[in-house]
Amino acid sequence: MTIKNIAEPTIAKSANRTASNRMSSFLESASYWAGIAAVGLTAAAALAGSFAWYFSHKLSDKKDSEFNSFRESSRVAISEAQARSAVANARAAEANKIAEEERLARVKLEARLAFRSFSRQSRTMIADALRKFAPQTFAVLWYPDDQECQNLAELLAITLRDSGWVLSQSGEWLGFGLILGVRIEFAPSKSDKLAAACNALAFELNKVGVIAEVNGNPELDKPEILPDRIRIKVGKKPK
């Protein structure tokens, strides 16, 4: 055996050991750095989790703050709207009250200025109620300078004629003295004959809103004045 043959196996073993040592060294180094990397990644993950929680918490706080701010703004806006609505309602109520007062005042004024009158239906009812006293004679007097009095006097004359009463004018007028409403007069000596008819007429007129009263007038007992006749004085409209 030669020296060359003896050295070759020895060299080969030495080379194998060197290679094995290098591999072991590499693996140890790789394992070390892998451990370092793992620790770093774990720390990074923990840090990332911390950042995520931090920013999530901040976002939640911001949302809560914005919601609370919105809720407070809404409450203030609703409160202000309710206050404005209350003021508007109060003003509307006051305006309605004034309008109603003005309407009532206008109605009263119109009623005070309106001519006294009654409907055709009321005219028929009055005529029917007084027909049992026909043919009662009557005269109607009014203020010649008062158109309202004249209109009512004419309406009364027509209604009484419808009931069968007989119009017997004497040419008299109302002039001196103030008479309010309708005054129905008769001669006291003829009370048994005329009072019932006079009271019936006054009752029917008052029923339709025309103020009327009955009076016995001694002046009507004079023969020249026709004591059997009922005298109807249409005075001024009461206020």
Instruction: Give the domain ranges of the chain.
Output: 1-89, 120-234
| Terminal-to-terminal C-alpha distance of the chain | 166
Q: How far is CA 83 from CA 69, 70, 78, 97, in A?
A: 21, 20, 9, 21
H/E element, 185: strand 182-186
Whether the model pTM is above 0.85: no
pLDDT at 199 over 60: yes
Sign (positive or negative) of CA dihedral 96, 101, 107, 110: negative
Hey, what CATH topology would domain 120-234 get? Alpha-Beta Plaits (3.30.70)
pLDDT digits (tens, 9 = 90+) for 5-20: 544 555 555 555 665 5
Q: How confident is the model at residue 149 (pLDDT cuts 50, 70, 90)?
A: very high
pLDDT digits (tens, 9 = 90+) for 33-88: 656 766 666 666 666 666 667 767 776 777 778 778 888 888 888 988 999 989 99
**What is the C-alpha to C-alpha distance for residues 45 and 56, in angstroms, rounded to an integer?**
16
